[in-house]
Amino acid sequence: MVASVKDLRLILELFFPPELAMQQAIYVLSVLITLYPIFLLHSNQLNEARRQAPLTGWKKTIQVLLTRAFEDEANGVEAWLTGINSASEYTNYICADIDKLYLLLGLTHANSDPSSFAFRSPPPILTTSRLNCRYCPPAHRNLIPSLRCRRKGKMQSIWVLNSSFEWESATLVVGHCTTCKADYYPDRITRVGTGRERAEVLEYDAEYLRVSKSGIWVHRRIALAQEKALQCYHSGWSNFADWINGLTQDINVTFTYRQSQRLFLEHFSRRLLISHDKSTTFTCTAHSSSKGLAEKVRAAIGINHGVIPSAMHHGCMDCTHIKRYHSGPPVGDGTEVVGSEAGPATAMDDAAVEAAPLPANLPEVLAQQPAPAEGSPRGYARLAVMDGKSLTHRKCALDVCERPLYNYKNGRFCETHLDLRSKCGIIPCGRDVRSSEDLTCDDATHIAWYKQYDDRFHRLSFPGVQRVILLENG
């Protein structure tokens, strides 16, 4: 038997105090429904043939959990409006006739699944959090124009990936200002721009973010999960989308790679704009693509090469890298670290490690990047990064030479011994190579030897070749 509103009214009048807050009463009633399996265990223990005390451990558990439910004020609402906590009194009152209460709720041994009696969560309604237009000045009676419902009676059905990582159907209701023609979405505001295009302003505290124009919205908590996945596991857009789809295989909605990328851009665009103090001035084309949004954000925060002003307030005392230039008049060397104190080495300092001698063609002191002209932004530090997997030689291939390579990409010799490039790579030979692209002469034996070497070692890094040679030499 399904409980009706009449039964609900009777339950509230018989078992719940009138001074209990409405939200708290519904919450306690939900807890009572979830406690029904424990009540079945209590009843089963009482039905044993031997003498059994009426207060079992199961019923004590029900009393403890029910008292906690009466006292739980996690939603920020005061449970007892009179200020007098009567949780223990009403817990005992309910537990005395809890079997009759479950009968009124329609819970019996034949129908003992509490999930079918639990209160359903309402479908999400996505709309703006604003009540009045952001751009219009006060008008009649000094009131700011209120928002109207765009397309009266015509609501858009959408799919939402909620905070529990589950897809659910929702409804989108868009606000509209009849004065300035601005549309208010849950995560953005569009208004009349220059020309025929509409401009867009982002909402930075939006609970849901739109990731597809076809009606796909994602809870902000999913964006935070994507941020942590990127930070901790270096997960890309496609990997995160595959993970989401693996969790939600029971529904015919797919979180695509493009939507995962859009979620990343929507979330981090807001984070970056707030960090750079650009949130109040940033605008872009309404409903722009991912590429268009990224270009606009990059242009907005690209001033001074994207340096966050607050990050320049820190100067590391012990780091070997220059963190910032002097903000005051230059004193001493212009490349000194701000706040550093140069002085003679003491016994407390770490023992200096004797450095290996530099090659003859390298200067003792590397050229420093000059400070930028006054009023101009800082320049970039241009670096050359070489990976050991693609670096075949580290010095001149001639055994007696220790000079650096002339060409680090695919060279073998230093600048002094470049003429050896035209000689056969088999050392005792000395003949010219077949062509400029070959490493051996036209001797079939030398060609076969090099081919065997290349087939064996061309996939290895330089340290890997060294390990193989060490193993062969015992």
Answer yes or no: do 94 and 172 share one domain.
Answer: no
Candidates 472, 470, 468, 471; CA nearest to 459 is 468
Answer yes or no: do 267 and 141 share one domain.
Answer: yes
* Exposure b/e, 380-400, CB count within 10 A at least 16 = b: eeeeeeeeeeeebbeebbeee
Give yes or no for residue 263 having a pLDDT over 90.
Answer: yes
Give yes or no for residue 390 having a pLDDT over 70.
Answer: no
Answer yes or no: do 206 and 107 share one domain.
Answer: no
Give the CA diameter of the chain.
Answer: 108
Candidates 282, 165, 296, 307; CA nearest to 224 is 165
Residue 226 belongs to some domain of the structure: yes
Q: What is the pLDDT of residue 365?
A: 72
Residue 60 belongs to some domain of the structure: yes
Average confidence (pLDDT) over 373-377 = 74
Answer yes or no: do 428 and 292 share one domain.
Answer: no
Residue that has been written with the tokens 């940033």 in this structure: 282
Which ranges in 144-289 belong to alpha helices (H)?
220-233, 237-247, 257-275
- DSSP string spanning 409-427? TT--S-STTGGGGGB-SST
Answer yes or no: do 20 and 142 share one domain.
Answer: no
Answer yes or no: do 155 and 257 share one domain.
Answer: yes
Report how many domains make up the chain.
3
Q: Which domain holds residue 445?
A: 423-472
Residues 386/395, Cβ–Cβ less than 8 Å: no
Answer yes or no: do 71 and 93 share one domain.
Answer: yes
Q: What is the pLDDT of residue 338?
A: 47
Lowest mean pLDDT among 30-34, 105-109, 164-168, 303-307: 303-307
Average confidence (pLDDT) over 278-299 = 91
What the block records as the tokens of 232 is: 């901790």
Average confidence (pLDDT) over 151-171 = 88
Q: What are phi and psi for residue 416, nearest 5 degrees? A: -70, -35
Cβ neighbors of 330 (< 8 A, separation 6 or more) are none
Lowest mean pLDDT among 190-204, 372-386, 397-411, 440-454: 372-386
From the DSSP assignment, how many helices (H) and strands (E) are in the chain? 12, 11
Q: What is the pLDDT of residue 400?
A: 84
Which ranges in 302-364 belong to alpha helices (H)?
none
Residues 79/72, Cβ–Cβ less than 8 Å: yes
Residue 368 belongs to some domain of the structure: no
Q: What is the pLDDT of residue 77?
A: 67
Answer yes or no: do 92 and 129 share one domain.
Answer: no
Handedness of CA 155, 157, 159, 164 (dihedral sign): positive
Q: What is the pLDDT of residue 313?
A: 59
Average confidence (pLDDT) over 23-45 = 89
Residue 334 belongs to some domain of the structure: no
**Dist. CA 213–CA 150, nearest whole Å:** 17
Q: What is the pLDDT of residue 316?
A: 53
Arithmetic mean of pLDDT over the chain: 80
Residues 354/346, Cβ–Cβ less than 8 Å: no
pLDDT band at 260; cut points 50, 70, 90: very high
Answer yes or no: do 238 and 195 share one domain.
Answer: yes
Give yes or no for residue 323 having a pLDDT over 50.
Answer: no
Q: What is the pLDDT of residue 103?
A: 87
What the block records as the tokens of 386 is: 């070489």
Residue 46 belongs to some domain of the structure: yes
Give yes or no for residue 262 having a pLDDT over 90.
Answer: yes
Q: What is the pLDDT of residue 344?
A: 46
Residue 317 belongs to some domain of the structure: no
**Dist. CA 388–CA 314, nearest whole Å:** 34
pTM of the model: 0.61
Q: What is the pLDDT of residue 264?
A: 95
pLDDT by residue (tens digit) across 78-137?
A: 778 777 888 888 888 899 889 888 888 888 776 667 777 777 888 999 999 999 998 988
Answer yes or no: do 10 and 71 share one domain.
Answer: yes
Residues 285/240, Cβ–Cβ less than 8 Å: no
**Dist. CA 261–CA 238, nearest whole Å:** 8
Average confidence (pLDDT) over 47-54 = 69
The residue out of 306, 326, 353 marking a domain boundary is 306
Residues 235/301, Cβ–Cβ less than 8 Å: no
The residue out of 290, 306, 322 marking a domain boundary is 306
The residue out of 116, 147, 173 marking a domain boundary is 116
Average confidence (pLDDT) over 213-220 = 93
Compute the residue count for the chain: 474
Average confidence (pLDDT) over 166-181 = 92
Give yes or no for residue 324 having a pLDDT over 50.
Answer: no
Q: What is the pLDDT of residue 321?
A: 46
Q: Which helix (H) or strand (E) holds 452?
A: helix 444-457
Q: What is the pLDDT of residue 258?
A: 94
Other CB atoms within a 10 A radius of the CB of residue 51 amount to 5
Handedness of CA 44, 46, 52, 53 (dihedral sign): positive
pLDDT band at 249; cut points 50, 70, 90: confident
Residue 329 belongs to some domain of the structure: no
pLDDT band at 343; cut points 50, 70, 90: very low
Answer yes or no: do 247 and 201 share one domain.
Answer: yes
- The dihedral over CA atoms of 42, 47, 48, 52, expressed in degrees to the nearest 10, equals 60
Residue 227 belongs to some domain of the structure: yes
Give yes or no for residue 4 having a pLDDT over 60.
Answer: yes
Answer yes or no: do 105 and 156 share one domain.
Answer: no
Lowest mean pLDDT among 26-30, 149-153, 235-239, 434-438: 149-153
Q: What is the pLDDT of residue 271?
A: 92
Between 303 and 275, the higher pLDDT residue? 275
Question: What percent of the chain lies above the pLDDT cut of 70?
Answer: 77
